[in-house]
Structure 1
Amino acid sequence: MGIVVDWVIFFVGLPEVCLAGYALLCLLKKETAAPIFAINLLLSDLIQIGITIVFIVSRFFDASYQPFIRARCIARLLVRLGLTSSLGFMLLISAERYLLVAFPVWYHTKNNAKFSILISVCMWTLSLAYSSLDYVFLTNKRVSLLLFSIICLLPAPFLVGFFTATWKALSRSIAMRREKKNRRRVLGVLGLVLGTYIVLFFPFSFRNLYYSLKGDTDAEDLVKDWSLVVTSALVYISPMIDSLIYIFMRRDIKDTMEAFACCRTPLMKLQELQEKLTDTSQIDTAL
């Protein structure tokens, strides 16, 4: 089962994440509200997808082959980095959607790309620091697994809280009541993030916490082994779900398809050309 999941993640998840990343970069050029956190979430997904090639190749060699023992150790570091940063950016996306609804004036005046980039750098630094410390100092498998489980469970109350608070803020916002599409987009992003965490991350985190507290992380148990395979598979397919966040950041299906040049109709291209000519004429008039 593990090898099948690895192949699916690599050959399906990689092009999917790359296409979503390209579309988000196009969105970054067009709109002032840059989806910085969503782009960083896709970068963390790329790290997780890239690691799968190590596990795929290592299956064709003997388990005691020294180069792949080292490669798997480094892959463990990158797995922790990818998962913790992914959870961090999911939390930041939820917080950003809440601020957009609860404090719209502050969000549109004070929030900018530089601030989001600074927060993203801090998140990457914290994730890298934890992963490095875990790799270097936490040689005890039980302690390492316990700490990792606690870190993975920390976003749970915040994600639920942001979703609930945003739902209430949307109910009170008169402007959002009128703009049903924007309301659905905000709730769609938050619902997807929360649903992804509950379905894909929470079983993995709870399972690891249970066995790390139980203290038999190395003991052989059929239930324990299968629970590890299933919950790990759920976590590893999360990059393919994260790409759907892009859809909820666009206004509609037409707006989504416009990001890809191959999907643009001649009418769309003509409208873009007219907009460019209009902008050029306005510049010439100003000069």
Structure 2
Amino acid sequence: MTYVIISIGLPLTLVAIYSLYSQVQNNNVAPIFIINLLISDIIQFCYMIIKVTEPVDLKIYRIFFYIYCFGLVTSVGFMVCIALERYLIIAWPLWYRFRRTIKISLVVCVVVWTLPLVYVLVLHFWNDHRVTNTITPVFLLVPFPLLIFFLGGTLKSLSAAISVSSDEKRRIVGMLVLVVLIYTLLFLPTTIMYLRAETTDKYEFSMLFAILLRLSPLADLILYVFMRKGAIDKLLASLCCCRMNSDDKSRSSV
């Protein structure tokens, strides 16, 4: 499974970063958070490569494990930033239009890259099972209510966002739903595992949750697809049309 994830995800992630970077050079700040998210995925791929090579030196493995934890927590942080940015476009379009600059986005990126260092340093200097089971849920569970709030706030403010086109609205909602799904399906089970410390001793559960976390870089590539206009707009439009047709049929039957 890890070989498949690396062979598919690593080259596609590098291509996605290059494509999005060309958009930033054209003064488009929207892809900055997704670029940083994909860079954090590259860090996770580096750990996976070391994992499958099975290094003899335990120190090397531990160093890359800390690097993996750093990349994992950072990716969660940038998922929150992506959701926040999408929320501001819909709920506060005028404020976002005048505040979204490359400088502010870079400052936010520096903060997001810095905070996971606290988590890694705690793991390193307090390498204790109880400490790990305490701080890991904190860093992984805090983003969940934020993601739910951004999704709910976006759906609530959707009709009032007159300045945003219908295609852009569908793309924003689709991206927010995808971020919540990625977190819920891939990150939340691991958080529950750490909250219920007794399950961490079960090898089957640990391996299952490890595989889910390793699938997150592949899932993040779908966010890149939502940044690309064209085919995804047609897909979302067709889904919305199907939903409207089903609603019309149900109303007519009533």
TM over 0.5: yes
In 1, the alpha carbon distance for the partners of 2:37 and 2:211 equals: 19
Deviations 1:235-256 (A, max 9, x none): 111001101111111221399x
- After superposition, where does 1:39-188 map in structure 2 within 5 Å? 39-58=35-54, 65=56, 67=57, 69-135=58-124, 137-176=125-164, 179-188=165-174
Q: Which residue of 1 aligns with 2:239?
A: none
Greater than 6 Å deviation, 4+ residue runs: none
SS at match of 1:172: coil
In 2, the alpha carbon distance for the partners of 1:172 and 1:53 equals: 47
In 2, the alpha carbon distance for the partners of 1:163 and 1:235 equals: 22
- RMSD over aligned Cα atoms: 1.8
In 1, the alpha carbon distance for the partners of 2:93 and 2:210 equals: 38
Counterparts in 2 of 1:162 and 1:106: CA distance versus 1, 3 Å: same
- In the alignment, is residue 200 of structure 1 matched against residue 186 of structure 2? yes
Q: TM-score, normalised by structure 1?
A: 0.77
SS at match of 2:119: helix
The AA in structure 2 aligned to 1:53 is: I
Identical pairs, percent: 34
The AA in structure 2 aligned to 1:189 is: M
Question: Unaligned regions of 5+ residues in structure 1, if any?
Answer: 256-287
- Between Structure 1 and Structure 2, how many residues are aligned? 233
In 2, the alpha carbon distance for the partners of 1:185 and 1:238 equals: 20
In 1, the alpha carbon distance for the partners of 2:106 and 2:213 equals: 26
In 1, the alpha carbon distance for the partners of 2:161 and 2:232 equals: 27
SS at match of 1:127: helix
In 2, the alpha carbon distance for the partners of 1:38 and 1:113 equals: 14
Deviations 1:6-50 (A, max 9, x none): 211211110111111111112212353341111100010000011
Q: Which residue of 1 aligns with 2:208?
A: 230
In 2, the alpha carbon distance for the partners of 1:119 and 1:144 equals: 27
Bigger-Rg structure (1/2) = 1
Deviations 1:137-184 (A, max 9, x none): 2121222132112211111100001000011111222334xx221111
Counterparts in 2 of 1:143 and 1:129: CA distance versus 1, 3 Å: closer
Deviation at 1:196, TM superposition (A): 0.3
In 2, the alpha carbon distance for the partners of 1:231 and 1:171 equals: 38
Counterparts in 2 of 1:254 and 1:198: CA distance versus 1, 3 Å: closer
Asked if the contact 1:182–1:251 (Cα under 8 Å) also holds between the matched residues in 2, the reply is no
Q: TM-score, normalised by structure 2?
A: 0.86
Q: Which residue of 2 aligns with 1:36?
A: 32
SS at match of 1:171: coil
In 2, the alpha carbon distance for the partners of 1:55 and 1:254 equals: 35
